Amino acid sequence: MIKFSVPGKPKTLKRHRDGKHGKYDPSAGDKVVFVSQCNQYRPKEPFDFPLHVYLQFHFKNRQHEPDIDNCIKFVFDALNKLFWKDDRFIERVTAVKCFGATEPRTEVVIMEIKNEN
């Protein structure tokens, strides 16, 4: 199990855009910052077995909070190929938005799903 918290207002995945020089990722800068705060928890090799990812997105209040699915997509996209070989290994996700936080943050827990037979 890996568990960590990333300080700052939770980010969302923004849609790729067409620019002068082809497509670009408007979330790229946010992902670099997010990953830099996660690197110390990164496994030696990306996981290649079934995973359950538990996410808590902590906000100061309910005003202008983003859709939870876009927050999930941001984390999955940022950690893909670093924490897991491919996000197809994520078989279960639990995500919660929390309000009233004095310090906005994203909490991440990554757990192996054991054989449930």
| pLDDT, tens digit (0-9, with 9 covering 90-100), for 87-96 | 999 999 999 9
Q: Which one, of 30, 33, 40, lies nearest residue 2 by Cα?
A: 40
Widest CA span of the chain, in angstroms? 53
3-state secondary structure of 11: coil
Give me the residue label for tokens 């827990």.
Answer: 109
Q: According to the model, what pLDDT value does residue 116 have?
A: 64
List alpha helices for 1-117, DSSP H: 28-38, 68-79
**Considering the domain 2-112, what is its CATH architecture?**
2-Layer Sandwich (3.30)
Instruction: Give the per-residue pLDDT at 23.
Output: 77
Cβ–Cβ under 8 Å, residues 58 and 106: yes
Question: Is 108's pLDDT higher than 90?
Answer: yes
